[in-house]
Structure 1
């Protein structure tokens, strides 16, 4: 059995395999992993682990040099190229926009929390250079959180103003070498408060957004 071909076939079938702490792990849509798959994995488990572990580079933390420029990952490089007109249908950044609704929000507390997050998570202080490198800035200005207090406005007017904020932030595209590569904004109406989060995916991914 050719292990590389086996992995490619599983990938085509929507099954992702990886090695973690000496164990074979998988991810697949519900019901996709059949009894045949499970039997095959048991049979070739050791060979799969050897192949997957050999393919993974050894990564070491280097906190002492974390503020020095370092290369982009492949996906970051692809996102950066996609922002240019180098390809047909290019000129578009990879961007995430999220809204979270609450009964109300204290803007000062939101600002304080996000400033703490910026200090805790290095990539929230990162900038991306066109030469294919990124850098975590050791110090940045205090993050400014925008806020609109629309509580005194009629509901229809407040919703219209919020749609304007949504349109602006959902299409946000700023220079990648200028911090910050994200935007945090609060809209308060008489009915609810909305936290608007706008991120360039050069500095976050789906998993890190869930952590934030």
Structure 2
């Protein structure tokens, strides 16, 4: 075993190693650094010390990426359009932006959140996180002659080796703020947090209004918790879920065909309360109602009565509510429309599936895919359908002139053949849909969203009626 192998083995087990005052120092979970490990460190002392010294004082810690990050990392090697994992948001904030105050706010965000100071590299096909003490992200100015092309190019400049994987730009002569982010460090909760915190820090820098942000748990704490869970429970959880899910369902279509259609549909003001009322009456999550409507739409779209869909679920613990990073999971659930089903019976069945999936909140669709497909995992798109519910979310920002929601330039390709999303926040309730062009054409997606909204309304109005 080389010194590099030894260091990586320890870091993969959650041990932090560093070189200080001519000594090799370490900190890690109890029982990890045994007498045998200490003997190995002594035998490789000089080589390990040289390796740690070479990293320099800027490196705080090196550790394996979290499981959902590993899923994206593997997918990036096979996709014809890896830019599909880039997000490029823009918004007219309603007031001329002060670049100096914006830079100060961004600098404080980087200092506050560990993952914004983290580089990502590859080791034998595995994503590795290198946490740094600092990182720089100068606010760019875009000319605005062709905003969409400029924003796409701006997002494409994100570099795994040069954090942060989140960058800001302003458009010359306008009130437009641009945010580029890679999905490997972001999720819906993170986008909500980022907008709220950046806006608060900007107003603090510009007007002296204290941001008063709560402490933020580092992302590495989540990765450590996930690793400990995986070692103790993953095998049991995987056996239980694969047995419950049954045989794999034949794919609908390849997502990465270069074409993607997406759109948002605001719901009438009464639809949101009606949706929540059904869930409260049945004592089930709103997601179960969403899944039931999705099951019907999938049957209409594909002719299949059974589908396995991904439920986007937040895996944050109580201490990680203000952590920026990819902490959501796509939990696999099986939805089935049976002869004689009413909305009530279908919603109840979907709720049972949701509760079963939530027993293992750190087991993702990626685990199931790799169990089913073995070494071929990562070359297939699973789940084929992704359903997301973001309650109480305001995916936007307030830079001093009031809250405004983000708009997004959709990148080439599709992460999933069909994605359905419902958000409810300050800007009301909206349905979002993204579909691979191989599944539906651009002219169809609006009709699909309208049909999905009809199904939700029908469920609310005829809970005991046949589906």
After TM superposition, the score normalised by the length of structure 2 is: 0.19
Report the structure, 1 or 2, having the larger helix content. 2
Q: Of the two, which has the highest radius of gyration?
A: 2
